[in-house]
Amino acid sequence: MAQRNKRWWALGLIALAQFIVIMDTSIIGVALPRIQQDLGFSPENLSWVFNAYVVAFGGLLLLGGRLSDLFGARRMFSTGWLILLAGSAAAGLADSVAVELSARAAQGVGAALIAPSALTLLMLLFGAEPKELTKALALYGAAAPAGGTAGVFLGGVITEYVSWPWVFYINIPIAALALIATPALMPAGGVRRGSLDIAGALTVTVGLGAAVYAIVRAPEVGWTSGQTWIALAGAAAALIAFLAIQANRREPLMRLSIFRTPNLGAANLAQLLLGAAWIPMWFYLNLYLQQVLGYSAFPSGAALLPMTILIMIGMIAIAPRAINRFGPKPMIVTGLAVLAAGLGWLALIRPTGSFLVDVLPASLVAALGMSLAFIPSLGTAIASARPEEGGLAAGIVNTSYQVGSALGLAAMTAVATSYGAGRLGDTVALTDGYSAALIGAGAIAAAGAILAALTLRSTPQRDTTTTAEPAQVG
């Protein structure tokens, strides 16, 4: 009995890890205008407070999983928390743009070690008992939207009533607790001989970073400038090199043949486009509330709470039942289409608008769409792989969402800036820029719905419900 209780305490720590790495993407949203003002970020560079984290996180997830396999999941889990702790302290203490972005990247490195090792530890603890594994995966899955919800609200509370550095400092006591609890609760994890694909990790991270940098910088230096084309060419070369390395290594970060698995590639594409549509909406809705409607930090965070609560309800209660009734493919297509409709409605924001008219109803429609599409696409991506490749499939789908988030925000930042989002103080120009970004995000979601309809195969409903039913926890 004591051992059984220990397992569930360990699961609580694993769910906390998932909660924190997702919270760290959303908690900065409400704080961005204060960070911009205090550290001197330009409108074009401000999105890198988000991108520095997600590019490091997404680019290094596969390497994090490989390190977990080679050196032990528990060791990498603890190492990730230690790096996250140090990066969070540095981000809060930062007094310049360069230090802030370096610290955010360090946080992303820590998250890239924590996330795959957490899933490995979960499988070690519960993998031998299918019924227990279902409950464990449900709690683990529910921790992600909970982290996103908490991040939005906590970011507003902390920024308004304390100060923005505390959106980073909040990680420090949690990381310290995790470092103390991990040796007592977690199994060591398998350690095996093998080689590290350092070249693969470097090329994919450099490629993604260069692509995001080029898209963000293009409105400032020009789409036809040498700087833009050199950065894009470098990104393409690095990503091509990554694919070549993966194709030729005996022990690659990502075995390319896994994408021959039916539905895995299509579900990952849906996750990538979900991130590319959702994150720009969250980013620019925060800025609209503060820089156009004049909300301070706490009311801005509170204004997004109805949307995030609906996401939680949708993911935990609505989506699993809808998947059982209609299957995953119709829900992914419908969810992306509803998200596109909500983003199109949000794009009607006005310089003299109000929360109740311009934001609340449209944001709830968008949130419903996100909650309907996210769980079935995630479950399909993981369930499509062979059981022994579940960890790799989970790493790939996490990477897809993070990469989509970074590239989508970079592209919409370029769109918003070209339509006036860089003219601080001019509410008409700001609204035009933010509206253009929301239209672009809606187009991405609509494209996702069409591509999902064309590429996803209809599958038996039981294939995905195991990994997509957080409603059955407890």
| 145-161 residue pLDDT tens | 678 767 877 888 888 88
Look at 121-135, 268-282, 416-430 and tell me which has the smallest mean pLDDT. 121-135
Residue at 210: amino acid letter: A
Whose structure tokens read 């992914």?
A: 332
Task: Check if the beta carbon of residue 466 is closer than 8 Å to that of residue 129.
Answer: no
* 190 phi and psi angles, rounded to 5 deg: -70, 135
Q: DSSP letter string over 219-287?
A: HHH-TTSHHHHHHHHHHHHHHHHHHHHHHH-SS-SS-GGGGGSTTHHHHHHHHHHHHHHHHHHHHHHHH
Check: CB of residue 377 under 8 Å from CB of residue 467: no
DSSP letters for 374-397: HHHHHHHHHHTS-GGGHHHHHHHH
Q: At what angle do helices 198-221 and 226-248 cross, to 10 degrees?
A: 160
389 pLDDT tier (thresholds 50, 70, 90): low
Question: What confidence score (pLDDT) does residue 359 get?
Answer: 93
- Please tell me which of 68-72, 118-122, 403-407, 432-436 the model is most confident about, judged by mean pLDDT: 432-436
**CB atoms closer than 10 angstroms to residue 430:** 25
Helix or strand run (H / E) with residue 18: helix 2-26
* Over residues 47-55, mean pLDDT: 83
Residue 21 exposure: Cα atoms within 13 Å on the Cβ side: 33
DSSP letter at 162 equals S
Residue 461's pLDDT band, with cuts at 50, 70 and 90, is very low
- Neighbour tally for 292: CB within 10 Å: 20
Residue pointed to by tokens 């923005």: 164
Query: How many CA atoms within 13 Å lie on the side-chain side of 41?
Result: 23
Question: Which tokens in the block code for residue 131?
Answer: 């019924």
* Residues whose CB is less than 8 angstroms from the CB of residue 128 and which lie 6 or more positions away in sequence, other chains included: none
- Gap between the Cα atoms of 239 and 462, Å rounded: 36
The SS3 assignment for 348 reads coil
Q: How far apart are CA 423 and CA 421, in angstroms?
A: 6
Does residue 356 have a pLDDT over 70?
yes
The C-alpha atoms of residue 50 and residue 24 are separated, in whole angstroms, by 9
Q: Tell me how far apart the alpha carbons of residues 401 and 393 are, in angstroms, rounded to a whole number.
A: 13
Q: Which of 179, 183, 180, 9 is nearest to 81 (CA)?
A: 179
d(CA 30, CA 105): 19
Q: Do 306 and 451 form a contact (C-beta atoms < 8 A)?
A: no
Q: Give residue 141's pLDDT.
A: 67
Collect all residues with Cβ–Cβ distance below 8 Å to 448 and sequence separation of at least 6.
269, 270, 273, 274, 277, 336, 340, 373
| 159-174: average pLDDT | 92
The 10s digit of each residue's pLDDT in 88-109 is: 999 999 999 999 999 999 999 9
Is residue 377 scored above 80 in pLDDT?
Answer: yes
**Environment class of residue 187 by beta-carbon count within 10 Å: exposed (0-12), middle (13-18) or buried (19+)?**
middle
Mean pLDDT across the chain, nearest whole number? 84
Compute the radius of gyration of the chain from its Cα atoms: 21
The pLDDT value given to residue 188: 73
Phi/psi at 266 (nearest 5 deg)?
A: -65, -40
The residue assigned the tokens 């995001």 is 212
- Going by C-beta distance under 8 Å and a sequence separation of 6 or more, which residues neighbour residue 419? 429, 432, 433, 435, 436, 437
CA distances from 394 to 56, 61, 120, 369, 399 (A): 17, 10, 10, 22, 9
Which pLDDT belongs to residue 472? 30
Per-residue pLDDT averaged across 419-443, rounded? 91
The length of the chain in residues reads 474
Task: Give the DSSP H or E segment for 125.
Answer: helix 97-126
CB contact burial 31-55 (16+ within 10 A = b; e otherwise): bbbbbbeebebebbbbbbbbbbbbb
State how far Cα 426 lies from the chain centre: 31
- The pLDDT of residue 272 is 93
Phi, psi of 468 (to 5 degrees): -135, 35
